[in-house]
Each structure stands twice: as structure tokens, then as C-alpha cells.
Amino acid sequence: MPLPTATPRRFLFLQGPITPFFAEVGAALRGLGHAVRRVNLSLGDRLFWRGPGATDFRGRAADWPGFIGDLLAREAVTDLVLLGEQRPYHRVAIAAAQAAGVAVSVTDYGYLRPDWVVLERDGMGPLSRFPRDPAAILALAAACPAPVLAQRFADDFSLQARWDMAFHLANLLPLPFRHYESYLLHNPVPAYLGTGWRLLRRRAETTRAAAVLGGLAGRGPLYLFAMQMENDFSVRAYSPYPDNDSAMAEVVASFARAAPRDGHLLLKVHPLDPGVKRWASRVAAMAARAGVAGRVHLLDGALNADVAILACHGVVTINSTLAIRAIGLGRRTMALGRAMFAVEGLVWQGGLDGFWQDAPAPDAVLAEAFIRAIAGCLHVRGRFYGRPGLDAAVAGTVRRLHLGLVNQPMRD
């Protein structure tokens, strides 16, 4: 069904997912009568933008504030669209846009998984405008349809790997963007080598993880800590932890002090972890220092997250979206960092030592309303990698941007 007409606006795109997603969203908006511009910060950016309106920024980071401020004014930009509001270039651009009254829309993988894409005003996580008051969440949910959470779309992992490698390896070239400063923590080459090694071992690691989980059944309450990608700004910007290690050490120490003596702690490796760190030896050392070597276990591989969550009494994260799945499945949950789901009635509000024995299960009514509201207001259905999920994500994002429905209830 064709979209209704809307007041023409002027969109500026910065870095997005490493896919044609932004290029296709921009082309569709242009076809609907909007003006569309793009800034390429790196050679990798160039690879994923097709169409007119692109401008290269080849200056130093110190030149960026003046460049983006002038561009916003000169082009009379009304909307800034980007992924990763904490990337250094993006933080500067958002500040300039907000000072100029330009609407900022941020996209990324969805809070809901696996086949949802988020589109929010100003920022995600603790910067999200989504309400934290339970009464406001219940009221907002009443205006949203019940989401169908069963998976519709799958990503193409081989395509994702090729696109990711093309982007990051292109950015290693010295020209023509010789002053570009990457947001990555790790050099992509050893990260790719580590990822390749993990993929070769994934089946064996998944089998081992399933065996660990099965062997612990009936031996006391299980608790899960969900590791995150250390490149993820939700860890770096929205928590007191510089990496997974520091959070894990704190959790293991608290578990040793305060968890039931027959309990076991499972540390689950993120499925896309680059394999730069040897988690098995690190976890073993942490457990030994805390005196709980036989009660702390590593889960690697591609074990289904729901299986792990449902086997556990409670789930601890820094601010991983896996917590939202745990809330939906009725498991006690705690966020150590700042998170948009850190709402009273959904997650434990006390200290970590109290979580292991005192945390209640989430309020079922509030949990259902929360998921309904974030699905209806903050998401579109689809994926970044592989069709038809990419087509669905483009169409839903275009609809929200064209009709001004960012952070507003939207029905399929």
C-alpha cells in the first residue's frame, strides 16, 4: 500500500549498519519527495552508499565539529539519521543537531531479538526516551498491538561476514581518508582470525555447553551471566566497566559471598565474540580466586539463549538485551549498567549480593506491557543482513521516518 504524502524534509545520514540499509532507506525517502544527504567518514562508508548527495569528510577529528555544524545549517537539515549514538563522530554531530533543532533518529539491532530493528529518537539504552514509570508503560502499551514474536526473518551470516570484512579492511587503507579514527577497540585482522577459529569450534563448543547445562540439572539453582561484545558502546559508555572481565570478576566474587551454597553460575559467551580473549582460562582463574572453582562454568558456542535462560533461576547482565528476553520468560533479572529496561517491577533494584536470594520474578503484567510498548513504538520488523528481512527493515524504517512516527505507536 503506498504511503500517504507528508511534508518534505531534509535528511542527513551518517554511519549506519555495514549493509546497503541506509542507502536503500535514503533512496526510498528521496522517492517520496524528501531531500537526502550523506557524509562518508571512511572508505568503508563509501562502499555502502549508492546514489547522489554524498559528501566526504577527510579532515581531522578536530575539524569535524565545524564541518558538521556548517553542513547542517547550509543544507537546512531537518533530520539526522545514524547508528551508534556513542561513536565519537556521532556524539559531536548529535550535539550540533540538537542545538540546531534537528531531529535525531538512531537505529541499531533491536532490543527484541532476533529479527527486529530499533529506531529511536536521540539515543538508545539509558538515553532512550522510553518511559521508566510502570504506569506510563502500561498506558503506552494500551495504544500498541500485541507483537508476534515468532521469528520471521533470518540473517545471512556469510553475507554479513563478507560485508563486515570489506568495510573494516577498506578502512585500514591509508587513503583517501587518512585521518579517519575508528570506533573499534580491536584491530579487525586478529578479531577476524579469532572469529574464524571460534566458528571452526562452534559445534563442539555448543555440544559441550549443552552437556554442562544438562549435567547441572537438579543440582541446585543456576544463575546466568550474559557476556557482551566489548566493542558495544552499551558496555563502554553505559556502565562502569571497561570490559567483560571486570564485570565478570565482580559477579563471581558476589556469587561466592552471597549465592546459595548449592548454586552454580554460568558465564555465557556472546555468540559473536571475536575470540581475542581466552575466556576459559580467564573464567577458571576468576573462580579459583573466589573459591568457587567447581561452581562456575563457561558456556560457549551457539547454545539457544532461551534454553539457557529457562534453565536458570536468575539472569545478570551489564545491560544486554538478553535481559529483556529473560524478563519476558519470567526470570529474575539484574542489570549492572545503565539500561532502558531497568524499571521497578521488571528488574532487581537492590545490590548484587541481594540478587541471588532475594530478587523476585518480574511482574508478568508489566513485562507483557513493556514488550508490547517497545515493539509498537521503538521497533520495525526485519534484519540488516539478508533478504527478505532487509527489505522489511527498510520499508518499516522508511515508514516511520516519512510519517514522523519515531517513538510513536505504529501498527503493521
Handedness of CA 325, 331, 337, 342 (dihedral sign): positive
Output the pLDDT for position 193: 64
pLDDT at 186 over 70: no
pLDDT at residue 194 in the model = 67
Tell me the pLDDT tens digit for each residue of 325-358: 999 999 999 999 999 999 999 999 999 999 999 9
Contacts (Cβ under 8 Å, ≥6 apart) of 11: 26, 29, 34, 35, 36, 37, 77, 78, 79, 80, 81, 401
pTM assigned to the model: 0.92
Predicted local distance difference test score (pLDDT) of residue 107: 97
pLDDT confidence tier of residue 161, bands split at 50, 70 and 90: confident
Integer CA distances (angstroms), 118 to 81, 212, 356, 374, in order: 12, 34, 32, 9
Whether 401 shows a pLDDT value over 80: the answer reads yes
DSSP string for residues in 298-356: EE-S---HHHHHHT-SEEEESS-THHHHHHHTT-EEEESS--TT--BTTB--S-HHHHH
Q: Positive or negative CA dihedral for 54, 55, 61, 63?
A: negative
Query: What distance in Å separates the CA atoms of residue 362 and residue 364, rounded to the nearest whole number?
Result: 6
Q: Are strands 314-317 and 296-299 parallel, antiparallel or unpaired?
A: unpaired
Residue 211's pLDDT band, with cuts at 50, 70 and 90, is: confident
Instruction: Say whether pLDDT at 312 is over 90.
Output: yes
Alpha carbons 155 and 107: distance in angstroms, whole number: 17
Most confidently predicted of 51-60, 186-195, 201-210: 51-60
Higher-scoring residue by pLDDT: 175, 318:
318
pLDDT at 331: 97
Q: Is the pLDDT of residue 272 over 80?
A: no
pLDDT at 196: 67
Give Rg (Cα) of the chain.
Answer: 22
Mean pLDDT of 216-228: 92
Q: How confident is the model at residue 50 (pLDDT cuts 50, 70, 90)?
A: confident
Ordered DSSP codes for 264-282: EEEEEPPTT--S-S-HHHH
Question: Residue 59: what pLDDT?
Answer: 96
Top mean pLDDT of 4-8, 157-161, 253-257 is at 253-257
90-96: long-range pairs with CB below 8 Å, 24+: 90/14, 90/15, 92/64, 92/65, 92/68, 93/14, 93/64, 93/68, 94/122, 94/123, 96/65, 96/68, 96/69, 96/72
Whether 79 shows a pLDDT value over 80: the answer reads: yes
Q: Which CATH class is domain 201-369?
A: alpha beta
- Mean pLDDT, rounded, for 15-20: 96
359-367: average pLDDT: 98
pLDDT of 8 over the 70 cut: yes
Model confidence pLDDT, tens digit, residues 21-49: 999 999 999 999 999 999 999 999 999 99
CA-based end-to-end distance of the chain: 12
pLDDT, tens only, 105-140? 999 999 998 999 999 999 999 999 999 999 999 999
Q: Are 258 and 357 in contact (CB under 8 A)?
A: yes
Q: Are 344 and 116 in contact (CB under 8 A)?
A: no
Say what the pLDDT of residue 2 is: 80
pLDDT greater than 70 at residue 190: no
> How high is the mean pLDDT of the chain?
92
Higher pLDDT, 149 or 192: 149
